[in-house]
Chain A
Amino acid sequence: MTLLKVEGLTKRFGGLVAVNKVDFEISQGSIVGIIGPNGAGKTTLFNLISGALPPTGGKIIFDGTDITGWRPYNIARQGVTRTFQTTALFEELPSWVNLVIGYRMRTKTGLWDSILRTPRFRRERKATTQKVAEVMGFTGLGEYAQMTAGDLPQEAQKRLAIGVALMGEPKLLLLDEPTGGVGLGETEDIIALINKIRDKGITVCVIEHKMRMIMNLVDQIVALNFGVKIAGGPPDMVCEDPSVIEAYLGECIA
């Protein structure tokens, strides 16, 4: 079943077309990889899907709903959360608080609930605490729980960012270069985490540079170059595609 459908998606910045009439679909339960050289428009594509940027043209349909032009917080509430290429966290807050914030949109505690400590307040606080423990265990961040997010090692920060995105109970998780700047062994840890996420029933879309890594991870690949989709399909097929090889100068390894 199609979870995300992108139709003719376009983003223009003045004279520059960063994303040019891109079409693709993501099936529920799959892992899709987005590849392309630097400047191909991958992050811009994510920004369009997550609502960080408004599209100039085209449509985005998520789980049957047209979310084109929606604000980021509404798209997140619909079930799409993401990480960022430059790891975005609430740097001066402890890790566990970062996770709490990730779950905030699923709670309704408001002004009166806080002041009067209503049953809803207590209920949601308990639920949040449980969820935080769950996600911390899931992402292996237990030892860093009390540490200030900005002090975490690079690779733990990446996992924390993924954890924050998971707290929101997404149906679709967008990961922008989750292994960026991370060493070999730790890269495998993150890949394993992504597989675990898929096993939980969450659909994942990954932007990645490390070709070898994602070949075994993903079910489908979308290849971009200069904002245009140049290929799409299963990994081995995309790897043999001449335009992809040309764009990557033969980096592909099936």
Chain B
Amino acid sequence: MAKYGKAAFVLLIIGVAVLLGLPQLELISQATLNIFTLGIIWSIATMSLNLVLGYTGQASLAHGAFLGIGAYTFGIMAQRVGMNFWLSLLIACLMTAILGFLVGLPSLRSKGPYFAIVTLCFNVIIFKVFENWTWLSGGYQGQKVPRPSFLTERWARYYFALVMLILVILVVRQIVKSLLGSSFIAIRSNENLAESVGIKSFSTKLLSLTVSCFIVGLAGSLLALQNGYLDYTITNYLYSFYLLIYLLIGGVASLAGPVVGTFGLYFLLWQLEKTMGEFSEFRWLMFGLLLIVVIIYFPMGIVGGAKRFWEWIKKKYYSRRGEVYG
């Protein structure tokens, strides 16, 4: 398992390096650059869900709301309170982490689908609050999000988001490949057994959720920054579903999965929209069919399927050489 981890990680770094060089290509239009930037930002959000779902096994359907809370905290701090950029960013992440902690306290005693439903309920409630409490959210009109001087250019924002993504990937990697990470996957694999070997499952799950929320708060802030504008729809529970889909199709419990899934699907949708013209509404129908087909035949996601395929090839190769692989 450690071997594949390294290979996939190297591929991931290569992919990221490609992304790094992208804006240098004059072929990239502003609109495309925007899409890439958004793809990166959403990848950060998917990565955060990967920590709590992919590695710790807790299916949070509230991450849409957390995304919005990160975005709004940043927006309000930067625009209405007039705080400087970095401080606003930090406060946004902390605020989202704190809210994640508070949501986790009553919810994490529930397991599996129950936990998913509770978090979904939280998301709906938060969404409704933002929808109706116009003093906070600005309602339909929303509010403006100011950009610091060094991020006024599109390519600057692109690189900034990319750097953030790389940092997040590194941090998540450090966490999951540590003894703390082993607690997470123990809980995902067999929570009862984990408890009987001395792992405090509730507080560990809570930690995972809190860290995950810190990261998604970052994603939300970046999203607000990228759009330059915020309204209450950013807390929509539909985003929880998007993140879930990106993650599961990409491949849970892998570092490359979230990025692959997010970019892959985000781009697919964008391409379909462009090429389908007047039928572009139907891209959702194709997307839905794709989801069903992929999840039936690739339950481990794209990256998981690729790993299995690789393993299958290795087996064939070794057995042909007469060696026993195992």
Contact = CB atoms under 8 A, between A and B. Distances in A.
B199 interface: yes
Contacts of B174: 114-115, 117
Contacts of A93: 1, 185, 189
Given A71-B195, A73-B196, A104-B197, 14 more contacts: A52-B196, A72-B196, A73-B198, A73-B200, A81-B197, A93-B185, A93-B189, A94-B1, A101-B182, A101-B199, A102-B197, A114-B179, A114-B180, A114-B181
Nearest to A93: B189
Q: Size band of the A side of the interface?
A: 35 or more
Contacts of B185: 90, 93, 97, 101
A111 B207 contact: yes
B197 A164 contact: yes
A245 interface: no
Contacts of A224: none
A128 interface: yes
B171 interface: yes
B147 to A, nearest CB: 29
B183 interface: yes
B322 interface: no
Contacts of B180: 109-111, 113-114
Contacts of A114: 174-175, 178-181
Interface string A141-164: 000001100000000000000001
A101 B186 CA distance: 7
A168 interface: yes
8 contacts: A71-B195, A76-B197, A89-B190, A91-B189, A91-B190, A107-B179, A115-B174, A124-B179
B179 A73 contact: no
A82 B195 CA distance: 11
A81 B194 CA distance: 11
Contacts of B198: 73, 76-77, 81, 104-106, 168
A12 interface: no
A165 interface: yes
Interface of A: 50, 52, 71-73, 76-77, 81-82, 84, 88-94, 97, 100-102, 104-107, 109-111, 113-115, 117, 121, 124-125, 128, 146-147, 164-165, 167-168
A72 B195 contact: yes
B259 interface: no
B326 interface: yes
B192 interface: yes
Nearest to A164: B197
A29 B196 CA distance: 22
Given A73-B200, A90-B189, A91-B190, A109 B195 contact: no
Interface string B82-126: 000000000000000000000000000000000000000000000
A13 B181 CA distance: 37
B193 interface: yes
Contacts of B200: 73
A100 B183 CA distance: 10
B190 A88 contact: yes
B201 interface: yes
Contacts of A52: 192, 196
B196 A50 contact: yes
B213 interface: no
B53 interface: no
B211 interface: yes
Contacts of B326: 147
Nearest to B201: A73
Contact of B182 (A73, A89, A104, A146): A104
B208 to A, nearest CB: 10
A128 to B, nearest CB: 7
B179 A105 contact: no
Nearest to A151: B326
A188 to B, nearest CB: 26
Contacts of A97: 1, 182, 185
A229 B183 CA distance: 38
Nearest to B196: A72
A104 B183 contact: yes
A89 to B, nearest CB: 7
